[in-house]
């Protein structure tokens, strides 16, 4: 065999060894945990045969604690690029078979390289995280590596989409990179995220808590809102990433993707003409409205288990990818609170960053009252949603279905926040507040007088007179409520001032949204020149 062939054979052997990561025994142990390896995950994610691996032969440079005797090609992370549905995507997958996937200086350099390439070439970055955290033997060098990654996450934010899948432990400083990305996907049973683990919690606070209770997928999907999705298994997590990417442009200079649509744009939905209950206090399911108007009823919901009083997610109208924001009357009457405001604001800002039009379906009675909300800064958090809509320059189509009261009317993409087309159903109630609340404030003096007179009649022993006074007052208040309803709690008052562009028949909602989106495709709107705004945080 010639020297050239020997060198080629050596390369082939080295590649085969590198692909084994920490070795066959380590892979076997990994599989016993019910988990896929880094390369198996990448193969599952990218189009077949499209992966181009970079830095396969990189090794760590640490000599502390005998580390010079332990070294593996790739150093615990597989990095490179490939395609998803033919579109360029950069990816890194941490390899838990090598030092538990712990981050070293060289691992960080590998990850930073593909992030730099993604920025240079305008393509998404997907991180498949499975790491025990910083490699302790490297000390400050590992921390420096994390910092380099975080800096790139920050600079890439709003430039290229960033998606994180948590497919194992993610603790300490490691959690900040996923937190800085656009979407985080966790997997039930194998994913954990926390700044300090159960042992530290026990030592410091005395609290006994399991990994699952502290930072499992269910906890972060429903309680903290850290996770946008909680998948049942790794296959579902990978599928979710692909679905998410299908709604996003590759970078902030491209338009949101369009697909061929087979769903008629003029499809009328008669069910929408009857969906609003007779009583304004009765709920209905906003999901039924969404599925009735979007293409083929397909809706990819984001954070579905967190702040259920607001719904956010992706859909298509005539093939055009859009972001949908909708109040949910079936949960807390669709009221806005701290969590709903944060959830809505972040989603709106993501869509605006990546040129994805916004469709907002409104049925909101107001902000949730109480000390719990005020002490947790509902003012600041409500202002986030207000800021997000006001800042957004993408096409904004708003449809008010029923209630739209007071401050909550304003923050849900009203005309004055540069809404492009604002429609209302005939059932819309657009006012400062509901009729009962308004009458209670406007006629508080009369209420006080009636109560005083009724109390005096009771004291004089005339029960019948007291009842008559209160009955007359109730009749008076009912008349005033009806008057307020007729004057203000209709869409026509807002339409009279041009705050509503048209009152539409519910069955035609899909068609009207699509026509509005087509009209605004060439929209040009810019914000004043500035370094950046100061969003209320």
So what's the pLDDT on residue 13? Answer: 86
**422: pLDDT strictly greater than 90:** yes
Cβ 373 vs Cβ 338: under 8 Å: yes
Give the tens place of pLDDT for each residue, 461-498. 888 888 888 888 788 888 877 777 777 778 998 999 99
The full 3-state SS of 146-171, as one line of letters, equals HHHHHHHHHHHCCCCCEEEEECCEEE
Give the tens place of pLDDT for each residue, 42-93. 999 999 999 999 988 887 776 677 677 777 777 889 999 999 999 999 999 9
Token pair for 266: 């003029």
User: Lowest-confidence range among 260-264, 440-444, 506-510, 513-517?
Assistant: 440-444
DSSP assignment string, 419-433: -SEEEE-TT-EEESS
User: Lowest-confidence range among 247-251, 375-379, 476-480?
Assistant: 476-480
pLDDT band of residue 139 (cuts 50, 70, 90) is: confident
In the DSSP assignment, the letter for residue 504 is -
- Please list the alpha-helical segments (H only) found in 405-490: 406-411, 435-442, 444-459, 463-487
Query: Which has the closest alpha carbon to 141: 74, 67, 233?
Result: 67
User: Lowest-confidence range among 1-15, 180-194, 338-352, 382-396?
Assistant: 1-15
**460: pLDDT strictly greater than 80:** yes
What does the alpha-carbon distance between residue 394 and residue 302 come to, in Å, rounded to a whole number?
19
Residue 94 half-sphere exposure toward CB, CA atoms < 13 A: 27
pLDDT band of residue 527 (cuts 50, 70, 90) is: very high
Q: How far apart are the first and last CA of the chain?
A: 67
Instruction: Determine the longest span between alpha carbons in the chain, in angstroms.
Output: 120
Cβ 395 vs Cβ 358: under 8 Å: yes
So what's the pLDDT on residue 62? Answer: 64
DSSP assignment string, 85-151: TTEEEEEEEE-TTTGGG-B-HHHHHHHHHHHHHHHHHT--EEEEE---SB-GGGTHHHHHHHHHHHH
Query: Which has the closest alpha carbon to 289: 281, 278, 297?
Result: 297
Whole-model pTM: value is 0.92
**136: pLDDT strictly greater than 80:** no
Burial of residue 514 (CB within 10 Å: 0-12, 13-18, 19+) is: buried
Q: Per this entry, what is the length of the chain?
A: 537
Region for residue 209 given its phi and psi (left: phi exceeds 0; alpha: psi -120 to 50; beta: otherwise)? beta
What does the alpha-carbon distance between residue 75 and residue 99 come to, in Å, rounded to a whole number?
8
Q: How confident is the model over 154-159, as a mean pLDDT? A: 97
Query: Which has the closest alpha carbon to 75: 53, 97, 91?
Result: 97
Cβ 301 vs Cβ 294: under 8 Å: no
What does the alpha-carbon distance between residue 166 and residue 534 come to, in Å, rounded to a whole number?
31
Report how far Cα 339 is from the mean position of its chain's Cα atoms.
12
DSSP assignment string, 191-226: -EEESS-HHHHHHHH-----HHHHHBHHHIIIII--
What does the alpha-carbon distance between residue 341 and residue 381 come to, in Å, rounded to a whole number?
6
So what's the pLDDT on residue 187? Answer: 96
So what's the pLDDT on residue 64? Answer: 73
Q: At what angle do helices 338-353 and 378-391 cross, to 10 degrees?
A: 20
| CB neighbourhood size of 39 (10 A) | 19
CB contact set of 5 (below 8 Å; sequence gap of 6+): none
| CB neighbourhood size of 216 (10 A) | 22
Residue 301: φ, ψ to 5°: -80, 140
In the DSSP assignment, the letter for residue 73 is T
pLDDT band of residue 30 (cuts 50, 70, 90) is: confident
Q: How confident is the model over 3-8, as a mean pLDDT? A: 88
Q: How confident is the model over 445-458, as a mean pLDDT? A: 83
What does the alpha-carbon distance between residue 111 and residue 302 come to, in Å, rounded to a whole number?
27
- Rg (the chain; Cα; Å): 28
Q: If you average pLDDT over every residue of the chain, what do you get?
A: 92
Residue 116: φ, ψ to 5°: -65, -40
CB contact set of 168 (below 8 Å; sequence gap of 6+): 35, 94, 96, 101, 129, 130, 131, 190, 191, 192
Cβ 237 vs Cβ 230: under 8 Å: no
So what's the pLDDT on residue 2? Answer: 85
Cβ 368 vs Cβ 327: under 8 Å: no
Query: Which has the closest alpha carbon to 172: 195, 191, 150, 193?
Result: 195
So what's the pLDDT on residue 268? Answer: 95
Q: How confident is the model over 165-174, as a mean pLDDT? A: 88
């Amino acid at each position: 065999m010639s020297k050239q062939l020997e060198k080629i054979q050596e390369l082939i052997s080295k590649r085969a060894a590198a692909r084994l990561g920490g070795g066959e025994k380590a892979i076997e142990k990994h599989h016993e945990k019910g988990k896929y390896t880094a390369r198996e995950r990448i193969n599952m994610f990218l189009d077949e045969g499209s992966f181009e691996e970079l830095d396969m032969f990189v090794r760590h440079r640490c000599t502390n604690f005998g580390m010079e005797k332990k070294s593996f090609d790739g150093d615990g992370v597989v990095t490179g690029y490939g395609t998803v549905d033919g579109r360029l995507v950069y990816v890194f997958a941490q390899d838990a078979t090598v030092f538990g996937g712990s981050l070293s200086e060289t691992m960080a350099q590998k990850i930073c390289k593909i992030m730099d390439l993604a920025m240079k070439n305008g393509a998404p970055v997907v991180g498949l995280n499975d790491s025990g955290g910083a490699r302790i033997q490297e000390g400050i060098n590992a921390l420096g590596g994390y910092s380099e990654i975080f800096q790139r996450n920050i600079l890439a934010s709003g430039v290229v989409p960033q998606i994180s899948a948590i497919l194992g432990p993610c603790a300490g400083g490691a959690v900040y990179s996923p937190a800085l990305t656009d979407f985080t996907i966790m997997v039930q049973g194998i994913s954990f995220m926390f700044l300090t683990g159960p042992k530290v919690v026990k030592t410091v606070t005395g609290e006994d808590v399991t990994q699952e209770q502290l930072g499992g997928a269910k906890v972060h999907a429903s309680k903290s809102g850290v996770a946008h999705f909680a998948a049942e298994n790794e296959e579902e997590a990978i599928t979710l990433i692909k679905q998410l990417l299908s709604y996003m442009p590759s970078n902030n200079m491209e338009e949101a993707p369009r697909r061929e649509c087979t769903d008629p744009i003029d499809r009328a939905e008669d069910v929408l003409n009857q969906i609003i209950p007779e009583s304004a206090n009765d709920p209905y399911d906003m999901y039924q409205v969404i599925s009735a108007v979007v293409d083929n009823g397909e809706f990819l919901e984001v954070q579905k288990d967190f702040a259920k009083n607001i719904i956010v997610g992706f859909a298509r109208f005539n093939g055009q990818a859009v972001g949908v924001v909708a109040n949910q009357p079936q949960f807390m009457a669709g009221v806005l609170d701290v969590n709903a405001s944060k959830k809505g604001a972040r989603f709106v800002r993501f869509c605006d960053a990546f040129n994805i039009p916004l469709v907002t379906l409104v049925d909101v009675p107001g902000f949730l009252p109480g000390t719990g909300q005020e002490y947790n800064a509902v003012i600041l958090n409500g202002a986030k949603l207000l800021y997000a809509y006001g800042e957004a320059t993408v096409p904004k189509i708003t449809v008010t279905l029923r209630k739209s009261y007071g401050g909550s009317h304003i923050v849900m993409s009203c005309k004055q926040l540069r809404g492009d087309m604002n429609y209302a159903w005939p059932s819309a109630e657009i006012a400062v507040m509901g009729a009962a609340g308004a009458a209670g404030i406007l006629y508080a003096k009369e209420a006080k007088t009636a109560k005083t007179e009724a109390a005096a009649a009771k004291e004089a022993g005339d029960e019948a007179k007291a009842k008559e006074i209160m009955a007359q007052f109730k009749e008076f208040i009912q008349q005033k409520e009806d008057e307020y309803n007729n004057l203000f709690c209709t869409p026509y008052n807002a339409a009279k001032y041009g705050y509503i562009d048209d009152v539409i028949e519910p069955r035609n909602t899909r068609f009207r949204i699509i026509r509005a989106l087509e009209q605004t495709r060439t929209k040009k709107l810019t914000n004043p020149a500035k370094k950046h705004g100061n969003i209320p945080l």
